Structure 1
Amino acid sequence: MVTFQVLQADGGVASAAINAATLALIDAGVPMKDYVCACSAAMVDDFPFLDLSHLEEVVVGSMVTFACLPRSKQIVLSEMSGRLHLDYLDKVMDAALKGCEDVFHIMDSIVRSQVAHMAAAMG
């Protein structure tokens, strides 16, 4: 069993861990049909905010973390810390899923760039 300790974090630890695990599996060559991408969101003054810092998480009090398979739009994780009014759930969920989609595009472009670089190096 592998254990680890977060030495310094400024929010979004769960999302970062999920995204890092996805990239580690891809780097290890594990076949995957889709990426697992994660993003957190919260409501601040009636507006959804993504990827809150630790200070923002403490001030807001309630945050939702979503992980999804972006190509199929399936939610694989939904975790809430604190209380969120039901009226805000759709706004927060839409923003977080859009954030997951943005994370997917960034991760995919980096993976494709790395694969192209490795293929060029191999000849």
Structure 2
Amino acid sequence: MFAFAVAVFGIQAKSNGQPEMLIAFNAAQLELPEGISIDKPGNLYVSLGPPGFVGGGYGALWKISPDGSEVTELVEYPAGPAPAGVVVDASGNVYFALPDPGGTMGGVYHVSDDGST
């Protein structure tokens, strides 16, 4: 079994020109980031799923506090489709795309920043 790390990098580069890692994901646990968005207070929203759409598997939508100390799973899809992108509007509403080729769950979904709908 191989272990791979997947990372989300900050936009601003360090003085040495290298991006700064904000949070590391465990690819061996299928924590594969697909899309990110940020809200006004600085919370990071990350959609996790198979790279591209490979026909199903673990998928989730996580909220990560600005300092990285709190990670909240807002939505989980243990099998089947996985969120492919996420956006947060000016009012803090969280939306994500859920591709489901050949299935019935494909669409755009809304969830509040605390995981309720």
Where relative contact order (Cα < 8 A, 6+ residues apart) is larger, the structure is 1
TM-score w.r.t. the length of structure 1 is: 0.31
Question: Which structure has greater strand proportion?
Answer: 2
Of structures 1 and 2, the larger Rg is shown by: 1
Relative to total residues, which structure has the larger helix share, 1 or 2?
1
